[in-house]
Amino acid sequence: MNYTFIKDLPTNVGEEIELKGWAYNLRSSGKIAFLQFRDGTGRVQVVFEKSGMNENDWEKLNSITIESSVTVTGKVKEEPRAPSGFELEGTGFEIVQLAPDDYPISKKEHGPDFLLENRHLWLRSNAQWAIMRVRNTIINATYEYLNSNGFIKLDSPILTPNAAEGTTTLFELDYFDLGKAYLAQTGQLYIEAGIMSHGRCFDFGPVFRAEKSKTRRHLTEFWMMDAEAAYTEHEENMKIQEGLIVYIVEQVLARNMPELEILERDVEALKKIQAPFVRMTHAEAIAKLREMGSSIGERDDLGADDETILTKEFDRPIFIEKYPVEVKAFYMKRDPEDPSVALNNDMLAPEGYGEIIGGSQREDDYDTLLERIKEENLPIKDWQWYLDLRKYGSVPHSGFGYGLERIVGWICGRAHVRETIPFPRMINRLNP
């Protein structure tokens, strides 16, 4: 018999099939055993009756421990009371490996430290399974949207000679005879080189920041997607971001309803993620916060709490644009109408989630960029290649970067990013 998958049970009603997977629980009365079974694609209950089995098999069945690997055969039955809508009438089983009866993760509540220590096992739990499926959809939807809008994937390096996003969060290592190397904080600058060849490019991979704070939204290793487009200015840059996020949410709603249900996510909130998103300038955001009693300064960056307050006002993402230049990166183009602010935007996710995207139009004038590099005391020789992009065929261009774990956290309704990446790395966690 060819084996099948739990996700395909609807097409096998009435048939006898085989499934390969793991037992996540077994309840047994003297006469009936309920094996809770998962195979990676879903979960289903397999019901065995003692009357249809020999004594030996019945005993063996009852010896199955939590997280033992097993294969089962059975007849597929519709069962409206089951979460999946199906059940299996067990006809046979095989124990592949009998796990010791001490699986660390039980149904009782565990603290986050214990769960993170057992992340290699925790990944099997239902909610964690659901989050990773949503993450997978978000990754694929990102590729789909960008590819169908003319963006070519160009992989940026992880080992880099300098800091793209400030020097305070750099991971440093010794690099043979060449001195220091740093783990990339973003691939953006390399993607800027790529678009002068391809017009539109993106990268998608791990980036690193030595974040010394423990917050619900900071990891030291996380996945960033940097997109960049030639002949594209600030306004169009925001349109691309808006289109991407709308598409991602739409695809999660189309492909992951069972997962969102497991996560008890309010899907009505996700259905409201439609264009146009809310827009305000940094100055307007500050005014609003001050009206609400905040003592934030006119030219201050927004903190996590400020973002939370602002996003609770709206049911759509918010673009906050035109931040004071001094709180943003050196490569951002200044607004010709007010050179004290940058032609940039952050995108804040609603329901209190806050920043998920950072983007801007890039400085495309050689001399202005050189000035900015000098002002920041960056070593010019390391940046000559980046300046070259403004020397040979410079064009107005813009781009943005999203933090995958922040987006997964928002869409899954999880408070902390540590649950949104398979193996989180934080200031106090490197294991497993």
Residue ranges binding ligand 4AD (CB under 6 A):
165, 186, 188, 209, 211, 218-219, 222, 224, 226, 355-359, 399-403, 405-406, 417
- Of 128 and 420, nearer to ligand 4AD (C-beta) is 420
Q: Please report how close the Cβ of residue 173 comes to ligand 4AD at its closest, in angstroms.
A: 19
Q: Please report how close the Cβ of residue 168 comes to Mg ion at its closest, in angstroms.
A: 13
157-185 burial, b at 16+ Cβ within 10 Å, e below that, comes to eeebbbbbbeeebbeeeeeeeeeebbbbb
Residue 405 interaction partner, one of Mg ion, ligand 4AD, none, beta carbon < 5-8 Å per kind: ligand 4AD
- Of 286 and 356, nearer to ligand 4AD (C-beta) is 356
Q: Please report how close the Cβ of residue 187 comes to ligand 4AD at its closest, in angstroms.
A: 7
d(CA 32, CA 42): 23
Residue 401 interaction partner, one of Mg ion, ligand 4AD, none, beta carbon < 5-8 Å per kind: ligand 4AD
Q: Please report how close the Cβ of residue 103 comes to ligand 4AD at its closest, in angstroms.
A: 31
Contact between 358 and Mg ion by CB under 5 A: the answer reads yes
Contact between 403 and Mg ion by CB under 5 A: the answer reads no
- Of 44 and 224, nearer to ligand 4AD (C-beta) is 224
Q: Please report how close the Cβ of residue 211 comes to Mg ion at its closest, in angstroms.
A: 12
Q: Please report how close the Cβ of residue 119 comes to ligand 4AD at its closest, in angstroms.
A: 17
Length of the chain measured in residues: 432
Residue 145 vs residues 98, 139, 271, 356: alpha-carbon distances, Å: 44, 10, 18, 17
- Of 39 and 364, nearer to ligand 4AD (C-beta) is 364
Q: Which two tokens stand for residue 165?
A: 């996003």
Q: Which two tokens stand for residue 154?
A: 């160009």
Q: Which residues bind Mg ion (CB under 5 A)?
A: 358
